[in-house]
Every structure is written in C-alpha cells, then in structure tokens.
Amino acid sequence: MNYQSDGILKALQAQLLAIVFAFTSFTALGQDSDELLEPSEAFAFSIEVISADQVMVNWAIAPGYYMYLDKFAFDAKPAGVGISKVDRPKGKIKNDEFFGEVGIYENEAQFQLTLSRFASDPGTLLLDAVGQGCNEPIGVCYPPIQHSV
C-alpha cells in the first residue's frame, strides 16, 4: 500500500467516525438514559381474585412500551390446581425489525384465568405469571419478567 492509499483510508475512517459520533449524539438528544423505566414501572403487574375459580391478571403498560402477545405464560401450583382456560385479549400486529410480524399489547394486557381444582382442598394457590416487553422509542427489550403470587 502506498502513502496516498493510507491517506485516503485514514480520511475515510475519520469521516465514518464523525458520522457515527454525530448519529449517536443526535439520537441521544432528548433521550436521557434515565428515561428508561424499571420493569416494574414499565409493566405494572396486578392480580384480582374474582372467585374460587377465576383470577384476573393485569399488566398496566406505560406509554412508549409494549408487551409481546406470545411471551405470556401462566402456571398454577400446587399439583391439585391447574389453569383450564386463559382468555386473552386480541393484540395489535407490529412489524418488529428482528422478529417480523408479531402480536403486541399496548397500554394494558389483561387475562382472565379459569382454574380447575383437582383436589377438594389443594391448599394455598401459587400463581406464576411471565411476560416480556420492550421500550419503543429507545428500542430496548427487557428479559422475561416473572411474578409469583
């Protein structure tokens, strides 16, 4: 390689570095890293016992956030209790740059669970609920969030 090629290469590297720096500075304007909410704030979880065999599970989803429709899972314990039905709300289709078309929930994800009791007194019910969501403007996805109640 000659000196002229080295000079051109260094000039291109400097320009590329300047473009990357300008882009990251521009996208960071108005987006303080403190704006990313804690998972419990972005996806506030609550549960309501409707009856002995009905439970309402709810995630209040903060503005600018969403949760994946297919990432929700529920499990009931002890062995004498099971979930026989999950009423899921209809989601919205989003074109995700990594996963293609996916179903999502915005604002709220509310599920009504119907429980089946296989024992006369199965004891205290323990419900595990898992969901996963992302922040839209910053583009950060959280790992799956599990709640046990």
Q: What is the CATH number for 82?
A: 2.60.40.1250
Does residue 54 fall inside a structural domain?
yes
Full-prediction pTM beyond 0.75? no
Tell whether the model's pLDDT for residue 109 goes beyond 90. yes
Does residue 17 fall inside a structural domain?
no
Residue-wise pLDDT tens digits, 30-41? 444 458 999 999
Does residue 12 fall inside a structural domain?
no
Count up the domains in the chain and report the number. Answer: 1
Does residue 106 fall inside a structural domain?
yes
pLDDT score of 141? 94
Does residue 123 fall inside a structural domain?
yes
Does residue 74 fall inside a structural domain?
yes
Range of the domain at 103: 42-148
Residues making up the chain, counted from first to last: 149
